[in-house]
Amino acid sequence: SQELEQSPQSLIVQEGKNLTINCTSSKTLYGLYWYKQKYGEGLIFLMMLQKGGEEKSHEKITAKLDEKKQQSSLHITASQPSHAGIYLCGADGSGATNKLIFGTGTLLAVQP
């Protein structure tokens, strides 16, 4: 079965610093989703990547899917306290059902 591993598990950065979160899959990814979650709340959709080499940006967040489609990275530029939360990557392992498998998440804290 497919597994997703996220690194780091937690991260504390000073406001204004850049950071990167990685998501590695044990199998080829047909679709890779990035979500953000505040503690005790639902998941907020950030971005979806499908094609190898694809890169998407929204405001100060950029996500990439590598050519082999087994790893994705999420990069935040000039972090702000509003970026704090849990970042989750989710993957569709079959490309058909859209049933997502998730990593364990990366907890991000941004110190003012």
- What are the residues binding other proteins (CB under 8 A)? 4, 30-31, 33, 35, 40-45, 48, 50, 88, 90, 92, 95-105
CA–CA separation, 103 vs 13, rounded Å?
21
Minimal distance in Å, beta carbon 40 to other proteins? 7
* Contact of 2 with 102, CB cutoff 8 Å: no
Which lies closer to other proteins via its Cβ, residue 54 or residue 73? 54
User: Which phi and psi (to 5°) does residue 57 adopt?
Assistant: -130, 145
Could you tell me the smallest distance in angstroms from the CB atom of residue 38 to other proteins? 10
